Amino acid sequence: MIIVMRPDSTEEDMQRVISRLSDRNYGHHLSRGESRTIIGAIGAPDDEKEVVAGQFSVLPGVERVVPILKPYKLISREYNPSPTAVMIGNAKFGAGHIGVIAGPCAVESQEQIMQTARAVKEAGASALRGGAFKPRTSPYDFQGLGREGLEMLANAREETGLPVVTEVMDVRQVGAVAEVADCLQIGARNMQNYDLLKEAGRCGKPVMLKRGFSSTITEWLKASEYIAAGGTLDIILCERGIRTFETATRFTFDLGGMVAARRETFLPIVADPSHAIGVASLVPQMALAAVAAGADGLAIEVHPRPDQALSDGPQSLTPAAFKDLMKRIRTVAEAVGAEA
């Protein structure tokens, strides 16, 4: 449920509400807006909500108490009806700003990530992507450079100024990745790794949650609620395609699902056409389609030599192709009233 404080409520009023929630062993999330503060109560059983709402509504400083019917409480439009933006470093995603995260699937060497970072920075990318830890279907495929890869990403950020987005695969990696990354990415295979989601929510950095390739919209949103319950609403959702019977593309790019999710949550949503399509020549068209459909950002794989990439070369754009795409993204963004 949501406890809406009056504009003239005091810090003492808010702490009183939080204390009462703690007495009932409920969690809470505090959201301070320009005119009002909202306290989200976490863990109230459905059969207690009506009684609890009545009790809290008479506390000093409380304007009203609103039960939330959705299974995802903190990230629902009922909690916050207005779309919000999330900052990754100095890059804005949402609220009319389309951010573009670009870079290779995996960090392979300092030369490779530095060359890519310079190229995507020049083209106008908002953030640098690159995997130091890589979940691969086969245990014999390249698994990433680990901590060495994190150091290379940090070096690339220091030179270019681009904030870093990189994947975390395990609860034990969260601390090390959070020391370097400006945003922690949780991949499709880990979308329902609830311990990892909660730990990522506690790390103090924004989190980008990719949709599982066999997950419904509701499951995706419920997974993001774990991150929110961990302590942060700096969450970006990422539509990266779902598995269907179609074989012409790697996955099916579910832009309809992305639009449906936007009706349910105020969190920004980015689209990853590279993983969804898996064919570099088709990525630009689908990137533009995502912008036209209202995506708050894009994640695009770029590699200086796709034919030599150790991971996902067939879906990676060359720097020249990415530069051309960025020009077209700006044109489409302007047409839909956004800024890229």
Domains and CATH numbers, the chain: 2-66 (3.30.70.1140), 86-335 (3.20.20.70)
- Beta bridge partners of residue 186, listed in sequence order: 209
Q: d(Cα 107, Cα 109) in Å, to the nearest integer? A: 6
State the amino acid at position 232 in one-letter form.
T
11: alpha, beta or left? (left if phi > 0; alpha if psi -120 to 50): alpha
Torsion of CA 237, 242, 248, 250, to 10 degrees: 60
pLDDT at 43: 76
Here the tokens at position 143 are 């698994």
pTM: 0.87
Q: Which stretches in the chain have pLDDT values below 50?
A: none
Give how far Cα 251 sits from Cα of 97, 136, 283, 294, Å.
Answer: 27, 16, 12, 20
Cα–Cα distances in angstroms (integers) from residue 239 to residues 54, 107, 256, 267, in the given order: 39, 22, 10, 13
Confidence (pLDDT) at 321 = 98
C-alpha neighbours within 13 Å on the C-beta side of residue 224? 33
CA angle 31, 33, 39 (to 5 degrees): 30
pLDDT of residue 46: 67
By CB atoms closer than 10 A (0-12, 13-18, 19+), residue 237 is buried
* Alpha-carbon gap, residue 41 to 337, rounded angstroms: 36
Cα 90 off chain centre by: 15
Per DSSP, the residues of 258-301 read: HHHHHHHB-S-EEE-HHHHH--GGGHHHHHHHHHHTT-SEEEEE
Interaxial angle between packed helices 319-335 and 283-292, expressed in degrees from 0 to 180 and rounded to the nearest 10:
20
* H or E stretch at 333: helix 319-335
> Considering the chain, what is the average pLDDT of its residues?
93
- Closest Cα to residue 1, out of 13, 12, 20? 20
**137: which residues sit within 8 A by CB, 6+ positions away?**
none
DSSP character for 233?
Answer: -
Beta strands at 235-239 and 269-271: parallel, antiparallel or unpaired = parallel
State which H helix or E strand residue 218 sits in. helix 217-230
> What are the distances in angstroms from CA 303 to CA 107, 133, 336?
10, 17, 29
Q: Provide the 10 A C-beta neighbour count for residue 70.
A: 17
**Distance (Å, whole) CA 271 – CA 328:** 16
